[in-house]
Amino acid sequence: MQSSFARAEDLDAFLDLAERIEGTDPFRVPPLRAQEAAHLGGVDPFARYGELRAILCRDGDELVGRCAAIHNPRLPEVGQIGYFASVDEPAVLESMLALATPWLAARGARRLVGPMNGGAHRPHRLLVRGFEREPFLFEPRNPPYYPRLFESVGFRPVHRWSSYEFAPERIAALRERIRPAASRAARGHSVVPFALEDPDVLRRLHRLLDRVWAGHVGYAPLDLDEFVACYGGVLDLVPPGYLGVIANARGDDVAIGLSYEDRAAEVRALAGDVRGWGSWKGAPRARRLVLHTMAAVPQERGAGTGLLIVDHAARLLLRDGYEEVVVALVTESLPLFARFAAPTREYVLYELPLA
């Protein structure tokens, strides 16, 4: 195995390799190629302050693996291993790490984290259970052997998440159970849905982001234009009323709630072409809704704001008639949903300390 830093002319081969390795999965949703090319090519906002080096591994003349060594100076001690794709051979990852590790250590990294494509605001984590389930949009998806490859070279889990699937009647039961606590939280808080056409929506969310994601593994502050580049397209998936904030009695924004329609099939059909994004607008309502973000500032996390977000979303989705609901990527420190259902998917982020 021989690994080398990719050149500018290698970008297409780097992007194509993931499709060659992972494309046999009929559930795979190809990422948007232009968005990945901008990040890897150093022409998106991250390039103003961060560093990224793409790495390719060859077995003779055949490309067999890829990754990116990523250093975000706003997470100075973390060396990220992102954009990972590999055949089922531990020597591939070993070879790429032999190149990535000294490059990251020279920039101050004291541990490697992966897979992570630049921070918690970009794709990260590996799916470790639930491969038979039809993925929802933005769910981590990878071949089942990827976790084994990371563990074979010394990585160990640093954080876990789960996703839960609910039929409407189970959501109704959950809502009935949490309603008293949500009602108590509502005495000092209010749900403020956003008008999605308001040009200030993303700016308002960005102002709150650093506070609600404080302490989230892999999170570092990002500039407004990077936030817009990462999240602006999500608004095309959000039905009216399903994105908003929780305001306290003083009118301060203290929590975020976001749910979106699962358009995984439509995005899969784009085959990575961003020009088709939003083509589902005006189509019938999606079958499945994804409850994705329920995040509060630290001082409000024990005040019931999360329950208020869940209660609000549950009321809307029961009214609107969604057939299925996924509560997505719930951190292991939040046990609420496990009281009502067993998780159907699990995910892991890995870490490897550097000597």
Give the pLDDT confidence of 156-196 residue by residue, as tens digits: 999 999 999 999 999 999 999 999 999 999 999 999 999 88
Task: Return the pLDDT at 336.
Answer: 84
Mean pLDDT of the chain: 95
Beta carbons within 8 Å of 291's beta carbon, 6+ residues apart: 259, 310, 313, 325, 326, 327, 328
Is the pLDDT confidence value at 215 over 80?
no
Q: What mean pLDDT do residues 93-120 have?
A: 97
Would you give the end-to-end CA distance of the chain in angstroms? 24
Residue 9 — very low, low, confident or very high, per pLDDT cuts 50/70/90? very high
Rg (CA), the chain: 20
Residue 301 — very low, low, confident or very high, per pLDDT cuts 50/70/90? confident
- Tens of pLDDT, residues 226-279: 999 988 899 999 999 999 999 999 999 999 999 999 999 999 999 999 999 999
d(CA 78, CA 159): 15
Beta carbons within 8 Å of 121's beta carbon, 6+ residues apart: 219, 222, 226, 227, 230, 231
Q: What is the pTM of this model?
A: 0.94
- Tens of pLDDT, residues 60-106: 999 999 999 999 999 999 999 999 999 999 999 999 999 999 999 99
Looking at residue 116, the DSSP 8-state letter turns out to be B
Task: Return the pLDDT at 163.
Answer: 98
Q: Do the Cβ atoms of 168 and 217 come closer than 8 Å? A: no
CATH architecture classification, 164-346: 3-Layer(aba) Sandwich (3.40)
Q: What mean pLDDT do residues 6-25 have?
A: 97
- Tens of pLDDT, residues 132-146: 999 999 999 999 999
Do 2-161 and 164-346 agree at the fold level? yes
What does the buried/exposed string (b/e) look like for 111-139 if buried means 16 or more CB atoms within 10 Å of the residue's CB?
Answer: ebbbbbbbbbbbbbbbbbbbeeeebbbbb
What does the buried/exposed string (b/e) look like for 37-55 if buried means 16 or more CB atoms within 10 Å of the residue's CB?
Answer: bbbbeeebbbeeebebbbb
Alpha-carbon distances of 317 from 61, 73, 138, 173, rounded to whole Å: 52, 41, 20, 13
Is the pLDDT confidence value at 214 over 80?
no
In 3D space, the residue among 246, 241, 252 whose CA is nearest the CA of residue 317 turns out to be 241
Task: Return the pLDDT at 303.
Answer: 82
The SS3 assignment for 221 reads coil
Task: Return the pLDDT at 199.
Answer: 86
Most distant CA pair in the chain: distance in Å? 67
Task: Return the pLDDT at 332.
Answer: 86
Is the pLDDT confidence value at 210 over 90?
no
Residue 355 — very low, low, confident or very high, per pLDDT cuts 50/70/90? confident
- Spell out the domain ranges in the chain: 2-161, 164-346
Q: What mean pLDDT do residues 296-319 have?
A: 91
- The upper half-sphere exposure of residue 223, i.e. CA atoms within 13 Å in the direction of its Cβ, equals 10
Q: What mean pLDDT do residues 324-334 have?
A: 92
Q: What is the CATH number of domain 2-161?
A: 3.40.630.30
Provide the residue type at 126 as one letter.
L
Q: What mean pLDDT do residues 16-41 have?
A: 97
